Amino acid sequence: MMEVETDILRGQFERLPTKRKNSVILSKTSLTYGGGRDGCCVCLGQHGSLSIVTTKVVDIYGAKAYQGPEGDTAAYFQVYSCPRYEKKRVRQKVCFRVSSSDSEEGNIAIAEQWVRTILWLIKDPERNLSSEQEERTLPASRKLLILINPFSGSGKSVRIFHEHVEPMLTEAELEFNTITTEYAGHAGEMILSMNLLDVDGIVICSGDGLVYEVINGLMKRPDWEAAINIPLGVIPTGSGNALCLSALFATGEPNDVTSAIFGIIRGNLMDLDICSVITPTEKLYAFLSVTWGLVSDVDIESERYRFLGERRFLIGTVARIIGLRKYRGRLSYLPANDINGGEDNLAYNFTPREDVSSSAAECDVTSLSQHQAHIQENLNGVFSKRISGNFSSLGPSDHLLPPLSSELPPSWKVVEGEFILGCPVFLSHLGTDLMANPDGKFGDGLMGIFYVRSTTGRMALLDLFGKMKDGSHVRSHHVEYVRAYAFRLEPDTSQTGNLVVDGEKIDYVPIQGQIHKSLAKLMCVTPPPKM
């Protein structure tokens, strides 16, 4: 027998702009309203002829109570939601007029009670609401830092922010401070030196390039352990939006701007792996991929078509397959199934220190308030230190990586020769219709490496890129696909070529990297199951 859910609040209000009386019922999971021709039925759900609307609480992102114009003793409350319709989320607003009390004070008290209850249900459905009602407290508002790149993609970031992002954040009553970047590297410079004590989340209104800047800025701070745990959010306005796309895919959300904004407002947290990438001269941090060969050529050479958005990658891929190049080099990796905890798998003969990611991974990542308190405690303790220019000792221990000039442990696998491409990938997608790493999961502590040998022809390559839409390319005999903890890539530097980290070109030199499980956090609607 199905359990009947208990009503939390029930009332009769006019619904605007129709001015019809509606019976309104709030339960722990839904807001239901409607009424018949007489508008006075309080038996919602018992008569099939009634026009009934049900909004799930998990789809609500804000509510607001306010008084009417002078001379109107009624009060009003609005509820903002983002339900799913087919393949997208749609913003909706419903407004109710409260006039059941004889006094203006009584009506505003009723409206505020509804708003207070709805907001607490959004934040914590299991919370005992009685104390909040007695004390008339509201959930604490989060403070977001929003970085807008006006040059990303086809230059639409500023318009999207003002037309879509700002209205939803305002309806959710989130506090935010916006900064518009002025040049490449500007965001990284600001993040490196900025006081983040009052920041509950960093929202990036751009493509993957600005995400890369922000992550590297956070990781180069003296308080990097706390800074990298500040939740990140992405509004996809660039030509490459792989992080946002992968996150929406992993959480079962539609791939659209509204869904991305809704995830930031709801503010649940999911784990994000970060890969340290070491070159002969610097240490970088990547969240997306390291690409070599055809894929990196397309990334760099299609920059001239940036005004086309993501279509630039399709044009670049076709052009590069026609003018196919081949690259010599050596690709090494530590397979996922070869880690058994023994010393043979470690690059150094010591037990690696506990990374910040392990303590963060053990906590309940969906508990945003506890996560924020943990961050603030660590930031308070470290930010007062003077920032220096030497970051060689910062960041998590790369205990699986020997020095770049040293031999690799015997547990590593090595392939060498002539290739068309080779890519360690840390997310599921490199772009729309490019599921490069189909087994990739957020917070799994693994990378997917796929490579294609030089014996593969042009028609086979076109077929492979078509199959990347659903990840079936990894089942082709032309592709080698493995899961790994670490990699080393040594291109033949007597050739010219491109090496690209998260879409950013670096020197064409030997590099290596190790994945760090759950090092960062990403805001989302509902986190996927823990790995």
Please check whether residues 98 and 244 belong to one and the same domain: no
- Tell me, what CATH number does 268's domain have? 3.40.50.10330
10-residue averages of pLDDT along the chain (531 residues): 74 93 94 68 47 94 93 95 93 96 94 95 78 69 95 85 96 96 93 92 95 97 95 92 95 95 96 97 97 89 68 77 92 83 43 39 49 57 41 80 95 97 96 92 96 94 91 95 98 95 95 98 88 56
The DSSP symbol for 475 reads: G
- Tell me, what CATH number does 92's domain have? 2.30.29.30
Residue 378 lies in a domain: no
Q: Which residue shows structure tokens 């696998």?
A: 413
Please check whether residues 255 and 163 belong to one and the same domain: yes
pTM (2 d.p.) = 0.86
Catalytic residue among 200, 208, 273, 502: 208
In 325-386, where does DSSP find H-type helix? 356-362, 368-382
Q: What is the pLDDT of residue 203?
A: 98
Residue 367 lies in a domain: no
Q: What is the pLDDT of residue 320?
A: 82
Please check whether residues 93 and 27 belong to one and the same domain: yes
Among 206, 232, 203, which residue's Cα sits nearest to residue 219? 232
Residue 136 lies in a domain: no
- Tell me, what CATH number does 458's domain have? 2.60.200.40
Please check whether residues 333 and 194 belong to one and the same domain: no
Please check whether residues 298 and 439 belong to one and the same domain: yes
Residue 92 lies in a domain: yes
Beta bridge partners of 85: 88
Q: What is the pLDDT of residue 126?
A: 74
Q: Does the active-site annotation cover 38? A: no
Q: What is the pLDDT of residue 392?
A: 52
In sequence order, the 6+-apart residues with CB closer than 8 A to the CB of 366 are 268, 269, 527
With contact defined as beta carbons under 8 Å apart, do 497 and 327 qualify? yes
Please check whether residues 114 and 201 belong to one and the same domain: no
Residue 434 lies in a domain: yes
Domain that holds residue 472: 286-337+399-518
Q: What is the pLDDT of residue 71?
A: 85
CB atoms within 10 A of CB 83: 14
The DSSP symbol for 97 reads: E
In angstroms, what CA-CA distances link 296 with 53, 299, 303, 363, 463? 50, 5, 11, 37, 19
- Distance, CA of 85 to CA of 181 (rounded, Å): 35
CB atoms within 10 A of CB 478: 15
Please check whether residues 268 and 294 belong to one and the same domain: no
Which token pair is 435?
A: 């599921």
Which token pair is 381?
A: 């303790």
- Distance, CA of 214 to CA of 149 (rounded, Å): 12
Which token pair is 399?
A: 């205990």
Please check whether residues 304 and 209 belong to one and the same domain: no
Which token pair is 298?
A: 């397309």
Please check whether residues 310 and 268 belong to one and the same domain: no
With contact defined as beta carbons under 8 Å apart, do 228 and 274 qualify? yes
Last residue of one domain, picked from the residues 251, 274, 297: 274
Q: Are strands 232-236 and 201-206 parallel, antiparallel or unpaired?
A: parallel
Please check whether residues 333 and 481 belong to one and the same domain: yes
Residue 328 lies in a domain: yes
Residue 384 lies in a domain: no
Please check whether residues 443 and 315 belong to one and the same domain: yes
The tally of domains found in the chain comes to 3
Residue 153 lies in a domain: yes
Please check whether residues 112 and 248 belong to one and the same domain: no
Q: Which residue shows structure tokens 């407290």?
A: 137
